[in-house]
Amino acid sequence: MTEFIPSTEKEGINSTDENPIFELAWLVLGTVVILAFLYASLGFVGEKFIVNLTPEKEIEYFSKIPVSKQFNVESNARFDEINELFKHLEDSSLKNLKLLALKDKELNAFAYPGGMILVTEGLLEKVKSKMGLAFVVGHEIGHFQNRDHLRGMGKALGFTMISSLLGFAGSDFVLSSITQEMVANAYNRTQEDEADEFAMKLLKLTYGTSQGAEEFFRVILSEQGQFSKYIPGILSTHPHPKERLEKILKFKR
Amino acid sequence: MIELGITAVLLVLGYVFGSINEKEHFQKIRIREHRLKAFPTHAGTKTFILNGEVKIVCGSVVVASDYFKSFIGNLKSLFGGRLTSYESLMDRARREAIIRMKESAVSWGAQEVIDVQINTSFIDKLGVEVSAVGTAIKRQPV
């Protein structure tokens, strides 16, 4: 005959007394390491993929992030002045670039993935001549020609994928990070110089002269003298306007 | 960034309230287990000569997980390993269910419970239900 022996449950067999905070710390650390690795490798692969996108594919992919949703843009009559600029482009895909005015007082222009060039209203206001504006737009076309506007986007791609893994996909947080990356994406000195050079060649080809191309730099330099609040963006992402001015003047000769 | 902030706040809330709850619950469980220590309970069918009444007694408990536990659980699904944060939850639920079953048997006037079975079911993603079912025996005084 078996006998019932009264006893209470011994603690710590079916559950642990370990502090779960340490466990969480380890888990978070491990996850961060894995995500960092994913981010780096996706960024690397994404960069290769995105820079080699054909212009048609580029438009197809990026039209899913409509520019008007992120920025306050509209068309502007001043772009009609420089229609000619697109006629002499060798690469036919560049002829379809769209020009839009960005409602912003700062003096700046952007090559936006998906075949759009955004020029701020501040710039349209201050740069008054056709040649001045043509140079600015030509510079951005140069970025498109050299695919500069897509470099650095691989990181944004990695970021998007990881965000979707974590369940943040499609949130405004992710969208705005991507577009911020696009805009803040600073090109290096060589890329800027090459874009300037491209613009000068294009002006020469289109109008037979590059006279007046330097207006934009003159405007920036004069604004700088007044400690204008409209130019810090372009100063932080581009070589100094004085250097660029000297370079294009040299190029003209 | 806002999402990360919300996650952090929920984690802290989950940890603070979760561990306060768990601590209190374990304390109560220990006291009541001690009180019912001498009450015979058997998981198997014991051969017995019935000279009295039998009745099914059931103790059931539903325990909710907290954000902290679920968060650890989600991360664990990447790495594998013991889900220790849920182990304590299950331990509490199982012990509580047995206590409730015993209490129900005692209140009916039984002397022992035989053939105890423990079942677990999940209620969506919210928490876990553990039930202990057994046959309570009330012997007639000879």
- pLDDT tens for B32-41 read 999 998 898 8
State whether B79 and A24 contact (CB < 8 Å): no
Interface of A with B (CB under 8 A): 2, 4, 6-9, 14-16, 18, 20-21, 23-24, 27-28, 30-31, 34, 168, 171, 173
Query: Which of A2, A8, A28 lies nearest to residue B37, judging by beta carbons?
Result: A8
pLDDT at B46: 66
Q: Please write the tens of the pLDDT for every residue from A38-95.
A: 878 877 887 788 778 777 788 777 777 666 666 788 888 888 888 888 888 877 778 8
The interface predicted TM-score of the complex, written ipTM, equals 0.71
Q: Is the pLDDT of residue B95 over 90?
A: yes
Q: Please write the tens of the pLDDT for every residue from A108-130.
A: 888 887 888 889 888 898 888 88
Q: Give dist(CA A119, CA A133) in Å, integer.
A: 9
State whether A24 and B84 contact (CB < 8 Å): no
- Residue A214 — very low, low, confident or very high, per pLDDT cuts 50/70/90? confident
Compute CA A74 distance to the chain's CA centroid, rounded to the nearest angstrom: 19
Q: Which residues contact A43 (CB under 8 A, 6 or more apart)?
A: A154, A155, A157, A158
Q: Which residue has the higher pLDDT, A107 or A62?
A: A107
Check if the beta carbon of residue A34 is closer than 8 Å to that of residue A42: no
**Interface test mutation site (partner A, options B75, B76, B112, B137, max chain A beta carbons within 10 A):** B75
pLDDT at A10: 79
Q: Give dist(CA B5, CA A166) in Å, integer.
A: 14
Q: How far B91 CA sits from the closest chain A CA (Å)? A: 6
Query: Which of A14, A27, A30 lies nearest to residue B87, judging by beta carbons?
Result: A14
Q: How far B61 CA sits from the closest chain A CA (Å)? A: 18
Q: How far B118 CA sits from the closest chain A CA (Å)? A: 15
Q: Give dist(CA A124, CA A101) in Å, integer.
A: 8
What does each C-alpha distance from B3 to A37, A127, A169, A174, A180 come to in angstroms? Answer: 22, 42, 11, 11, 18
State whether A20 and B40 contact (CB < 8 Å): no
Q: Give dist(CA B120, CA A62) in Å, integer.
A: 50
State whether A14 and B37 contact (CB < 8 Å): no
**Across A160-172, average pLDDT:** 63
Check if the beta carbon of residue A53 is closer than 8 Å to that of residue B121: no
Q: Which residue has the higher pLDDT, B120 or A182?
A: B120
Name the average pLDDT for chain A.
Answer: 78
State whether B78 and A20 contact (CB < 8 Å): no
Query: Which of B33, B34, B84 lies nearest to residue A23, judging by beta carbons?
Result: B84
pLDDT at B48: 64
Q: How far B110 CA sits from the closest chain A CA (Å)? A: 15
pLDDT at A43: 75
pTM, two decimal places: 0.58
pLDDT at A11: 80
Percent of chain A residues topping a pLDDT of 90: 4
